Amino acid sequence: MKAVKVLEPGNIQIIEEPIPEIIGDTDLLIKVKAAGICGSDIGIYDGTSSVATYPRIIGHEFSGEVVRIGSAISGVQVGDHIATDPVIACGACRVCQKKRSNVCMNLQVIGVHRDGGFREYVTVPEKSVYKVSPSLPWEHAAIIEPYTVAAQVAARGEVQEGDVVLILGSGQIAITILQVVKLLGATCIMTDVVEERLKRAKEFGADLLINSTKEDVVAKVKEFTSGIGADVAIDAACAGITLEQAALSVRPAGIVVTMGFADRQVRISEGTITKNELDIRGSRLNNNMFPKVIEWFETGKINPERIITHKLHFTKVLEGFDKVKKEPETTMKVILTFE
């Protein structure tokens, strides 16, 4: 079979490997049907990932058909359609005991710390897979994961019906968050520095758009909310300044959600936090959000088709990376196909 392997930063190859063997009796062999390219895959290729190890078969957003099962498996059958949660937690550490398994102290992410899904066949533990309806398109099942990231952000922000949610940035991740918070009944303000992306956010239902190169984000948010501030601010741009804007745009007792991994320092005064009793919270991966997102997809509450802008054979993965990097105005999700 063929696999997409990053041998070291900057060196990606389509290699020939044997189909993996089932080792544990609770492992499954999956024939991969579709996969999504994520910014973090590109980070592993570029060498900017702070967590990846090499060599690595990348890919953590994928769907497939079960073709073989370990002897101790009862909940999944050959022929089932599945999506895979890339988060593998130890289940035993202090953090897992606190039911925060996505930040497990021994966290393993499929496609980051262990080999992922950009290959024709992959083995995964039974507890990592979720059955999906055979009527759900493979490409949709492949991008359940980015929507679980959005669902996690919404959960960390405690987004509720009637909330005003500020999303900093209007890239692909921001758009999936927009879809989720609109589903939850929130009003949504979106910012960006690129007019085309703001236009796209409008098409996805954003209620107020702010071009931060032309307008003062904090002042516009205050104006829109009668001087109160947003209930929740989500930094999906992760540009440093956007986290500062988030902290200054929420109301007293508001929640700020961060998504960035950079080492950079941002300037938020302790007074801003204390005076307003702000909650500033990180959001990483997802904490058991697959069932919820699968329900959203299967009932049509969320239409993932709308974020798919390109489909490519998986051996053309670098072409997909180029689209994401060089054409961000017109590229959202690139789907890799395996037929």
Nearest to 159 by CA among 73, 90, 88, 255: 255
User: CB under 5 A: which stretch of 14-22, 144-152, 209-217, 253-261 binds Mn ion?
Assistant: 144-152
User: CB under 5 A: which stretch of 141-149, 204-212, 303-311, 312-320 binds Mn ion?
Assistant: 141-149
Q: Residue 109, interface with Mn ion (CB under 5 A)?
A: no
E-only strand ranges, the chain: 2-8, 11-16, 27-36, 56-57, 61-69, 81-84, 87-88, 108-109, 121-125, 129-132, 164-168, 187-192, 208-211, 230-235, 250-258, 279-282, 308-313, 333-337
How far apart are CB 60 and Mn ion at their closest, in Å?
A: 6
User: CB under 5 A: which stretch of 128-136, 142-150, 251-259, 301-309 binds Mn ion?
Assistant: 142-150
Nearer to Mn ion, 251 or 333 (CB): 333
Tokens coding 336: 């890799």
Q: Residue 257, interface with Mn ion (CB under 5 A)?
A: no
Q: Residue 38, interface with Mn ion (CB under 5 A)?
A: yes
Return the amino acid letter for 192: D
Distances (CA, A) of 134 to 64, 65, 81, 152: 11, 10, 6, 26
Sequence-distant (6+) residues with CB within 8 A of 241 are 266
One DSSP character per residue, 173-210 reads HHHHHHHHHHHTT-EEEEEES-HHHHHHHHHTT-SEEE
How far apart are CB 89 and Mn ion at their closest, in Å?
A: 17
Nearer to Mn ion, 37 or 69 (CB): 37
Nearer to Mn ion, 38 or 151 (CB): 38
Nearer to Mn ion, 12 or 230 (CB): 12
How far apart are CB 240 and Mn ion at their closest, in Å?
A: 22
How far apart are CB 61 and Mn ion at their closest, in Å?
A: 5
How far apart are CB 237 and Mn ion at their closest, in Å?
A: 17
For Mn ion, the binding residues in 11-30 under the rule CB under 5 A are none
What angle separates helix 241-249 from helix 217-224, to the nearest 10 degrees? 30
User: CB under 5 A: which stretch of 122-130, 139-147, 260-268, 313-321 binds Mn ion?
Assistant: 139-147
Sequence-distant (6+) residues with CB within 8 A of 227 are none
Q: Which residues bind Mn ion (CB under 5 A)?
A: 38, 146
